[in-house]
Amino acid sequence: MNSGQVRSGLIIVDKPQGWTSHDVVGRLRKLAGTRKVGHAGTLDPMATGVLVVGINKATRLLTYIVGTSKTYEATIRLGQSTVTDDAEGEITAETIAAAVTDEEIMAAVADLTGDIQQVPSSVSAIKVNGERSYARVRAGGEVNLPARPVTVSRFEVHGIRREAGGKLRDVDVTVECSSGTYIRALARDLGSALGVGGHLTALRRTCVGPYSVEQASTLEQLAGNLAVLELDDAARALFPVRELTAAEATDLSHGRRVPPSAAVPGAEEGAGGGAPVAAFAPGGTLVALLENRGPVGAEFPAAYAKALLVFAPGNEA
């Protein structure tokens, strides 16, 4: 199969445990027969679930997908801390968590919900003086990352169990959060707040923006049938939509301005505000991503829509 046979679009992968995101991209390059493949945000090797992969022109959408909200199913173990804040790291401290009550766990979870300041995991991919934080930690160095604002819009507890003869407590949760939130760090901070330490033992990503695990295919399934969410459908799910006239579609494909997207929800702010808008030709083909420019409410041409990306009509490869 070569790139001429694979149309532009997204592949929603159910990533297996033990695979890196880079491993998945390499596999899909072979299956799709094209080098133009990328992913919309790393998923740790320990984790499973939704990894959004772009093929050909759809790689240009990935930067917008990276910043969308994410949803995870996770298990947090209370009573043990690890160097990586997850089960892949060496245990650094153990504390009997038998006395921790369900009520205390629920109160600590509530304190970690909403707009919070979070210190990323020291084994994150954040760069410190040009070096990845995880590389410095694995080399035996110390890393002190600054806290940064994240939003945990949902932190729901589904079950609390006793493990290791009651010495440890496992907490099953669902987390919906902003981009840049570390679930490992939530596990660490929950354990710290309860005074017993904590780390992540299981993690499954179930949603990335509008794309869910129900749409995802395993690598084995993709080897038999490379299921691609077409570029047009992917954009309609991700952005507010504007239907163009034929004249507007032609103007945009030739680099000309068009009137602002004043009637499209989310695009009214103008002057670079609001969400990008996916603009479609009358035949349903994605023409461009648009952003309003100029004063809000002004008449065209004082206000206009600027093309952030142009996808030529009739050329979807």
Partners of 286 in beta bridges: 280
Residue 37 pLDDT more than 60?
A: yes
Is 257 in a helix, a strand, or coil?
A: coil
In the chain, pLDDT over 70 holds for what percent of residues?
Answer: 83
**Active-site position among 14, 23, 44, 233:** 44
Partners of 131 in beta bridges: 128
Residue-wise pLDDT tens digits, 85-107? 999 889 999 999 999 999 999 99
Identify which of 247, 251, 245 has the alpha carbon closest to the alpha carbon of residue 263.
Answer: 245
Query: Residue 260: is the preceding peptide bond cis (ω within 30°)?
Result: no
| CA 43 distance to own-chain centroid | 9
- Please enumerate in sequence order all residues whose Cβ is within 8 A of that of 216, keeping only pairs 6 or more positions apart, or say none: 12, 13, 14, 49, 50
Burial bucket for residue 213 (CB in 10 Å: 0-12, 13-18, 19+): middle
Out of 58-67, 85-94, 307-316, which region has the weakest mean confidence (pLDDT)? 307-316
Matching residue, tokens 């694979």: 6
Identify which of 121, 116, 253 has the alpha carbon closest to the alpha carbon of residue 185.
Answer: 121
Q: How far apart are CA 79 and CA 93, in angstroms?
A: 8
Identify which of 258, 260, 292 has the alpha carbon closest to the alpha carbon of residue 273.
Answer: 292
For the segment 44-71, the average pLDDT, to the nearest whole number, is: 95
For the segment 72-78, the average pLDDT, to the nearest whole number, is: 98
42, 179 in Cβ contact below 8 A?
Answer: no
Alpha helices in 67-155 (DSSP H): 102-111, 133-138
Q: How far apart are CA 310 and CA 264, in angstroms?
A: 19
| pLDDT at site 317 | 37
Task: Give the type of residue at 114.
Answer: G
Identify which of 185, 160, 195, 178 has the alpha carbon closest to the alpha carbon of residue 75.
Answer: 160
- Please enumerate in sequence order all residues whose Cβ is within 8 A of that of 115, keeping only pairs 6 or more positions apart, or say none: 149, 150, 151
Residue 145 pLDDT more than 90?
A: no
- Is the pTM higher than 0.85? The answer reads yes
H/E segment holding residue 123: none
Q: How far apart are CA 315 and CA 64, in angstroms?
A: 21
Residue-wise pLDDT tens digits, 152-185? 999 999 999 999 899 999 999 999 999 999 999 9
Q: How far apart are CA 169 and CA 146, in angstroms?
A: 29
Helical pair 102-111 and 183-194, crossing angle rounded to 10 deg: 130
| CA 231 distance to own-chain centroid | 18
Identify the band that residue 271 occupies on the pLDDT scale cut at 50, 70 and 90.
very low
| pLDDT at site 121 | 80
Residue 263 pLDDT more than 90?
A: no
H/E segment holding residue 187: helix 183-194
Look up 44 and say whether it is catalytic: yes
